[in-house]
Amino acid sequence: MKKAILFSIIALGFTAMTSQIVLLREMLVVFYGNEISISYILASWLIGGALGSLILGRLADKIKDTTKTFVFSQLLLAGILPLAIIAVRSIKFFLELSPGEIIPFSYILIASFTVLVPLCALLGFTFTISCRVFKPDFGTPSPASKIGTVYMLEASGAMIGGLLASFFLVRMMTAMNIMLFLGLINVAAAISVSFLERQKKARTFLMTLSLVMLIIGCLMGSAGIWGKIDRLSVKKQWQGYDLLATTNSIYGNIAVTKRGEQRSFFKDGLRLYTVPDEKTAEESVHFTLLEHPDPRTVLLLGGGPGGTIKETLKHNVDAIDYIELDPEIIKVAECYLLEEESAYLKNKKVRIENVDGRFFIKNTDKKYDCIIINIGDPRTAQLNRYYTVEFFKEVSKILKDKGIFAISLTSSENYINNQLRDFLASIYRSLKIVFKDTKIIPGNVAYFLSCKNGEVLTYDYNILEERRKERGVDAKYVRDYYLFSRLSPEKIEYIEDVLEKGERTRINHDFKPVSYYYAMVSWASLFRDSLFKKILENTDEEKIRHVTLFMIGTLLLVGGVIRKKASFRKQAVMTAVMTTGFTEMTFQIVILLSFQAIYGYVFYKLSLILTSFMVGLVLGSMVILKNMDKEENCIGKFITTQIAVCVYPLILPLLFIMASRSGGSDTSWIWANIVFPFTPVIAGFIGGVQFPLAGKIYLGKDKTVGKIAGINYGMDLIGACLGAVLTGTFLMPVLGIYKTCFLVATVNFAVLILLLFSLKKKPKLR
């Protein structure tokens, strides 16, 4: 096999996966990283790839000089990558949005599409042209085998890129430097492929062009021009603020800004805390600690460097455990807080744990007087894990008899609309299932205080003020006059009455995360005449079921009518490829969320789960490619893979139930470290086997490799795009994990029937 082509195709997969990770992280800073924005970003990425492979891929077979085109594509890719970073960071400037300003969903979709589609279309086209350029050193493989091998090689590059980007590149390099590094790899690949050009003049031209690009890039780097461009683009992203620092960790982007005397700390574009902000710091702590008659041990999740630790120490507690997953947040705080502001982090009573909060709570043997969650609204499925009935039960186990559990949610002091009511009511009702007593302190930020003992919590502000004075707590805001206002009987009666009217609101569970769905609806309601809000509000379990049955019925009806046409088998196979793309994207989301819910957010294991899918993809492709040219019954094997796609989603819920009920540390370790990381390998293996088979069935006697590769690849990406949008936005929160798996199995079973129809025409493909 030509090593140059081999290297270039692997580099293509490496570039696609690494740039996707980098651009996704950059765009989350702009769009604040909830499931809607992630779905839109992934959808734009996949649509761009589909357009490039489906539309531009049709041109691949008409191009005579494929080597030259392939080299041009890789050089163009090298030039576009750094421009994509600049484009992402300029989104808010062109949309005239300030940092922290809520972005309409329509803006997210338009911006994602505009920035990503050109890059992804080029990646999709380069895949199709590489299927023509690829020529092994041995044998004469069939066109279908060539498509399958290129698919396997690109998946291998993507697997390597996913591992390196997640664990090394984002830690050691800036986003711009990573893109320049990818550009360097692609220029090197273009130079190596240029040697394969047979015409001397063309070879000389390609070599010269590649070397010129390489020299210009290196000169700009040595002159510091790339660094200046990087800094200017970052400052443009944070216009209106004095940007003090920005850094990346494996968990996301951290930025520190200054305006006047205040310094604000951001994680992926969302404000973590501002210093000084005494009012927020006091509220987040004193409401809870004053409700407790004698708080000695306190567990804090989030907000510590912003003043919550400082305010907690005013109560003369014995010990504070502060949980912060990302150690980089603590390091940045120590660098940019004043000495007197950060000194509390080093207090001997304070113990900082860099671990997932839920993982800590589930595994600790300690008992606490007060547990305070200060991580923001559950606007993502990841954050939603801290607001479910299952989590509340875990919290209850480590609370002392008179212990108090506190969370804070965005609310409104004077008027709560129906969307906000449903959001708050879903969590309020979930709390009441676990705790004997739950009280609400109303305001623009509402504090929900819960206790197992029904005789601890009080709305009497006089008792709270008396405790404040007895403990010598110096508070500027949470004191007599402020407590009197916040605990007004009229305000309390209003919010309790509103939430009681939400009695039909669904309970929030790990495997049915409805609260983040309600949070999305509430967010969408902030925009006038939001079409997305109307769609969300009118989406329920019954409508999803009816739409699914209608689509399946239509699919089977059309299949039954046209099954005698010669092209029916090809159309059925491409339908299967698309639904498999949809299904495997759904598998990844379902497995990730289930792992988070059961074991906590252990980052490196989640990266391992994502990478293991690519491992399965490579293994499946390798297995089927060994004898595919000699295989006579491709449609039979393809149907076997479709049966596996039908069965697999029915097995997943059983695995999740067994994992959640597994007892003992050894058993849990096996499930968390062996079973869960292995499940995506199976899904990837099925897809890796099916994709090359689909190429051979669809290709038949056709020799248009570029066109067929583009159609096959494009249908897979379209299905994955639908899976990214529908699963995270609608299926998971509305149906829950178990019913989502059942729906996916049902859709794939309908496609299986279509494939069986096709057997009536030709039982074998020779």
pLDDT tens digit string along 106-133? 788 889 999 999 999 999 899 888 888 8
pLDDT of residue 76: 93
Q: What is the mean pLDDT of residues 550-567?
A: 69
Per-residue confidence band for 663, with pLDDT thresholds at 50, 70 and 90: low
CA-to-CA dists, residue 433 to 375, 391, 429, 486, angstroms: 22, 12, 7, 26
User: Do 727 and 35 form a contact (C-beta atoms < 8 A)?
Assistant: no
Residue 31 has pLDDT above 90, yes or no: no
Domain 539-766 has CATH 1.20.1250.20: yes
**Of 73-87, 131-145, 620-634, highest mean pLDDT:** 73-87
Asked if the domains at 270-524 and 539-766 fall in one CATH topology, the answer is: no
CA-to-CA dists, residue 253 to 32, 237, 560, angstroms: 11, 13, 52
Q: What is the mean pLDDT of residues 634-650?
A: 92
Q: Where are the domains of the chain?
A: 1-237, 270-524, 539-766
pLDDT of residue 539: 83
Nearest Cα neighbor of 463 from 293, 255, 700, 664 is 293
pLDDT of residue 507: 94
Pairing verdict, β 297-301 and 270-275: unpaired
pLDDT of residue 127: 87
Per-residue confidence band for 763, with pLDDT thresholds at 50, 70 and 90: very low
- Produce one character per residue of 103-139: b if its CB has 16 or more CB atoms within 10 Å, e if not: bbbebbbebbbebbbbbbbbbbbbbbbbbbbbeeeee
Percent of the chain with pLDDT over 90: 35
pLDDT of residue 700: 67
Q: What Rg value do the Cα atoms of the chain yield, rounded?
A: 28
Residue 766 has pLDDT above 50, yes or no: no
Residue 437 has pLDDT above 80, yes or no: yes
Residue type, 516: Y
What is the rounded CA–CA span in Å between residue 474 and residue 285? 13
pLDDT of residue 298: 96
The hierarchical CATH code for the domain 1-237 is 1.20.1250
User: Do 120 and 45 form a contact (C-beta atoms < 8 A)?
Assistant: yes
Residue 353 has phi, psi (to 5 degrees) of -115, 120
pLDDT tens digit string along 263-297? 889 887 778 888 888 999 999 999 999 999 999 99
Residues 6+ apart with CB under 8 A from 732: 381, 513, 589, 590, 593, 740
Residues 6+ apart with CB under 8 A from 190: 8, 71, 74, 75, 78, 206, 210
pLDDT tens digit string along 446-476? 999 999 998 899 999 999 999 999 999 999 9
pLDDT of residue 603: 57
pLDDT of residue 291: 95
Q: What is the mean pLDDT of residues 532-538?
A: 77
Min mean pLDDT across 75-79, 671-675, 685-689 is at 671-675
What is the rounded CA–CA span in Å between residue 589 and residue 592? 5
Q: Higher pLDDT residue, 246 or 202?
A: 246
CA-to-CA dists, residue 382 to 189, 290, 299, 419, 728, angstroms: 39, 30, 20, 21, 11
Q: What is the mean pLDDT of residues 62-71?
A: 84
Residue 321 has pLDDT above 90, yes or no: yes
Pairing verdict, β 297-301 and 319-323: parallel
User: Do 423 and 513 form a contact (C-beta atoms < 8 A)?
Assistant: no
pLDDT tens digit string along 418-433? 889 999 999 999 999 9
Q: Higher pLDDT residue, 366 or 106?
A: 366
Reading phi first (left if > 0) and then psi (alpha if -120 to 50, else beta), residue 408 is in beta
Mean of all residue pLDDT scores within the chain: 85
Q: What is the mean pLDDT of residues 659-668?
A: 72
Q: Exposed (0-12), middle (13-18) or buried (19+): which is 400, by Cβ within 10 Å?
A: middle
Triad 463, 464, 466: Cα angle to 5°: 65
> What does the block give as tokens for 594?
């289930």
Please list the alpha-helical segments (H only) found in 435-529: 461-471, 480-486, 489-500, 514-524
Q: E-strand spans in 19-112?
A: none
What is the rounded CA–CA span in Å between residue 96 and residue 118? 23
Q: What is the mean pLDDT of residues 601-622?
A: 77
pLDDT tens digit string along 367-416? 999 999 998 888 877 788 899 999 999 999 999 999 999 999 999 888 89
Percent of the chain with pLDDT over 70: 92
> What does the block give as tokens for 640?
């076997």
Q: Higher pLDDT residue, 481 or 707?
A: 481
CA 44 to chain centre: 14
What is the rounded CA–CA span in Å between residue 175 and residue 19? 9
Spell out the long-range contacts of 430-433 with Cβ–Cβ below 8 A and sequence spacing 24 or more.
430/387, 430/388, 430/389, 430/392, 430/507, 430/508, 430/515, 431/392, 433/389, 433/392, 433/507
Nearest Cα neighbor of 721 from 527, 579, 532 is 579
Residue 602 has pLDDT above 60, yes or no: no
Question: Which contiguous run of DSSP H or E holds residue 438?
Answer: strand 437-441
User: Do 49 and 718 form a contact (C-beta atoms < 8 A)?
Assistant: no
pLDDT of residue 762: 47
Please report the sign of the dihedral spanned by the C-alpha atoms of residue 512, residue 513, residue 518, residue 520. negative
**Of 38-47, 139-148, 429-438, 611-620, highest mean pLDDT:** 429-438
What is the rounded CA–CA span in Å between residue 59 and residue 659? 49
Residues 6+ apart with CB under 8 A from 682: 616, 648
- Max CA distance (Å), the chain: 91
User: Do 449 and 438 form a contact (C-beta atoms < 8 A)?
Assistant: yes
Per-residue confidence band for 231, with pLDDT thresholds at 50, 70 and 90: confident
Q: What is the mean pLDDT of residues 487-507?
A: 90
Q: Is 589 helix (H, G, I), strand (E, B) or coil?
A: helix
Per-residue confidence band for 1, with pLDDT thresholds at 50, 70 and 90: very low
Nearest Cα neighbor of 158 from 23, 44, 11 is 11
User: Do 325 and 356 form a contact (C-beta atoms < 8 A)?
Assistant: yes
User: Do 118 and 48 form a contact (C-beta atoms < 8 A)?
Assistant: yes
Residue 627 has pLDDT above 80, yes or no: no
Per-residue confidence band for 99, with pLDDT thresholds at 50, 70 and 90: low
The hierarchical CATH code for the domain 270-524 is 3.40.50.150
Q: What is the DSSP string of 130-142?
A: HHHH---SSS---
Q: What is the mean pLDDT of residues 356-362?
A: 89
Nearest Cα neighbor of 152 from 628, 474, 520 is 628
